[in-house]
């Protein structure tokens, strides 16, 4: 590696006081500034909304309440503001029960009933119905909150599911086409249509062969081009929304090379929601590394195929069966979640959908109060600070540090550092092998004009100059140091919505860019360095 330019990061005492632990250790983050290694969508961060009714229970706990697409309160102020804060949050509508949903149509004669619990039925519930009035309400809600929506279609209609779970027969797209035509007629925007949920490979409850799935995807492709004739851009074709199986995915990709836009898969790498070792796994760097291998495998599978489809994670909850209270909805889960975002982006994943936006024990929002859980703020900071272009990095130091770097959304770069350790502060220096340009900022006011400014204007000018020579840091910690707390602290201040249901401002600390970044035990730091411009970010 070429000799680099190091940035030493310290906090400016004009803005804050954070004391570096004298017993801390040093580390160095090497950044390749020559070229990017991958690129995500601009709206990489995505969240899901599911179909589960209140009767969905796991291990004796019913954690979904009224968070379903059929019954969630679309008038809740916090809910609306939480989505609006992203200024375009990608939302995937779908989940297990999507393959049991019937869409009401103008000619629908049968009553439009909700899901009912029935353990003898596939997935433990009867078929449910999406009424046109509810579809209207949902779309008005998404338009109002500026959400970017993908919709998961029922892929089992027309198929016979045998006792061993294998599903035979072609997909009957009649009902889906009726919903799609109604959607176009009402001028509702759907970014992508996804076919099926967890029916690939061995499947969950049911499975479809790769050949048949490819044939059904072709049916969806033709339907989209027929219904959206004369409309551009057309929605994406997304599939299969299941767990990655190399052989199955290879066959499927090669048979859908001209019809598929995004190949989607699901991530539940931590185990079941009742597992007592979830926290230990989240804080184990070796486990996090192993969990990231699937992204590399999928990227290799795509590149070796004839397909031009991009990789998506269309559902990721970490721990299956609704997650675990005080773990997957608590501060500690941000280590797993942000590491997943960082790891998946390295391997060219374009979109990463968190299960869920609301519902279960892994929601970004509290199921009953709609208050943001810690991961909501982690997601929002990533969305605002981490740009599309992904840079190659290597950390020299303790294995307890996880590090990712992207070109920033606006200018410069954003560094994400996470300290999985519980006792030692790590002071991180940055080294870059190729700096394209490091801006030198000077005061905008000319010396001869100084007397024309008031005292307040002079102070503002000085503050502006200081900030141009600094970086913005966002230190995330758990309230009272409790990893299982549902309250996120930003730079020592508790994050809470106000009485109007407004999402709090995420204000950074402004830090001298010539000193190391201090990453305290069990903490997460986003550092935006606006004046740090690399060739990789400007090419």
Q: Which helix (H) or strand (E) holds 364?
A: none
CB atoms within 10 A of CB 146: 12
Instruction: Calculate Rg over the CA atoms of the chain.
Output: 24
Tokens found for residue 289: 């590394």
Q: Please name the helix (run of DSSP H) or strand (run of DSSP E) that holds residue 145, with its range, or none.
A: helix 132-145
> Under a CB-based contact definition with an 8 Å cutoff, are residues 94 and 194 in contact?
yes
Nearest to 494 by CA among 510, 477, 482, 470: 477
The reply to whether 232 belongs to the active site is no
Which one from 39, 315, 410, 494 is the annotated catalytic residue? 315
3-state SS, residue 218: helix
Please give the DSSP secondary-structure letter assigned to residue 58. B
Q: What are phi and psi of 400, to 5 degrees?
A: -75, -10
Whether 240 and 264 have beta carbons less than 8 Å apart is answered as yes
How many angstroms separate the CA atoms of 186 and 319, rounded?
38
Active site residue 315: yes
- Contact at 8 Å (CB) between 528 and 488? no
DSSP single-letter state for residue 19: P
Query: Taking a C-beta distance cutoff of 8 angstroms, is the pair 78, 370 a contact?
Result: yes
Bridge partners of 107, per DSSP, are none
Which has the closest alpha carbon to 236: 393, 389, 121, 350? 350
Q: Which one is catalytic: 177, 198, 473, 502?
A: 198
Q: Which helix (H) or strand (E) holds 84?
A: helix 77-84
CA distance 380 to 378: 6
Q: For residues 173 and 179, what is the distance between their CA atoms, to the nearest angstrom?
A: 10
Collect all residues with Cβ–Cβ distance below 8 Å to 13 and sequence separation of at least 6.
Answer: none
Neighbours of 232 (CB within 10 A): 5
Q: Residue 103 carries which DSSP code?
A: E
CB 203 within 8 A of CB 249: no
d(CA 427, CA 417): 11
In 3D space, the residue among 322, 382, 422, 395 whose CA is nearest the CA of residue 506 turns out to be 382
As a whole number of angstroms, the distance between CA 116 and CA 162 comes to 22
- Short-list 187, 202, 196, CA closest to 248: 202
**Annotated catalytic sites, by residue?**
198, 315
């Amino acid at each position: 590696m070429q000799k680099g330019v190091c940035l030493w990061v310290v906090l400016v005492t004009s803005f804050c006081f954070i004391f570096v632990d004298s017993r801390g250790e040093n580390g160095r983050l090497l950044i390749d500034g020559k070229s990017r290694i991958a690129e995500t969508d601009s709206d990489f961060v995505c969240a899901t909304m599911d179909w589960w009714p209140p009767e969905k229970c796991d291990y004796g706990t019913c954690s979904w309440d009224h968070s379903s697409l059929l019954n969630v309160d679309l008038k809740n102020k916090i809910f609306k503001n939480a989505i609006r804060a992203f200024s375009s949050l990608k939302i995937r509508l779908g989940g297990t029960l999507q393959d049991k949903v019937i869409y009401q149509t103008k000619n629908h004669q049968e009553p439009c009933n909700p899901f009912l619990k029935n353990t003898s039925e596939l997935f433990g519930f009867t078929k449910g119905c999406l009424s046109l009035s509810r579809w209207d309400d949902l779309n008005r809600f998404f338009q109002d909150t500026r959400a970017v929506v993908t919709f998961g279609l029922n892929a089992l209609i027309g198929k016979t599911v045998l006792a061993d779970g294998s599903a035979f027969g072609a997909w009957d797209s009649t009902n889906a086409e009726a919903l799609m035509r109604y959607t176009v007629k009402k001028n509702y925007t759907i970014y992508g249509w996804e076919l099926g949920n967890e029916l690939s490979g061995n499947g969950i409850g049911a499975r479809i062969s790769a050949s048949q799935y490819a044939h059904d995807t072709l049916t969806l492709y033709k339907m989209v081009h027929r219904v959206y004739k004369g409309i551009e851009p057309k929605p994406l074709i997304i599939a299969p929304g299941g767990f990655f199986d190399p052989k199955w995915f290879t066959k499927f990709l090669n048979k859908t090379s001209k019809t598929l836009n995004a190949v989607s898969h699901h991530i539940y790498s931590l185990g079941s929601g009742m597992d007592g070792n979830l926290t230990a796994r989240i804080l184990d760097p070796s486990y996090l590394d192993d969990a990231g291998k699937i992204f590399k495998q999928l990227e290799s599978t795509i590149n070796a195929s004839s397909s031009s489809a991009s990789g998506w994670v269309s559902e990721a909850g970490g721990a299956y069966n609704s997650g675990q209270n005080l773990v997957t909805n608590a501060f500690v889960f941000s280590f797993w979640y942000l590491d997943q975002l960082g790891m998946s982006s390295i391997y060219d994943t374009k979109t990463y959908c968190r299960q869920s936006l609301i519902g279960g024990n892994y929601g970004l929002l509290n199921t009953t109060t709609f208050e943001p859980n810690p991961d909501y703020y982690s997601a929002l900071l990533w969305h605002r600070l981490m740009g599309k272009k992904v840079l190659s990095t290597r950390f020299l130091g303790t294995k307890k540090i996880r590090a990712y770097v992207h070109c920033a959304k606006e200018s410069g770069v954003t560094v994400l550092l996470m300290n999985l350790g519980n006792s030692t502060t790590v002071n991180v220096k940055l080294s870059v092998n190729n700096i394209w340009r490091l801006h030198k900022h000077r005061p905008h006011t000319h010396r001869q004009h100084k007397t024309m400014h008031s005292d307040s204007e002079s102070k503002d000018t000085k503050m502006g100059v200081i900030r141009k020579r600094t970086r913005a840091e966002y230190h995330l910690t758990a309230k009272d140091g409790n990893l299982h707390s549902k309250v996120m602290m930003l730079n020592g201040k508790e994050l809470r919505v106000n009485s109007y249901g407004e999402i709090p401002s995420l204000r950074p600390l402004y830090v001298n860019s010539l000193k190391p970044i201090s990453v305290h035990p069990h903490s997460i730091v986003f550092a935006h360095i606006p004046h740090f411009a690399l060739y990789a970010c400007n090419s």
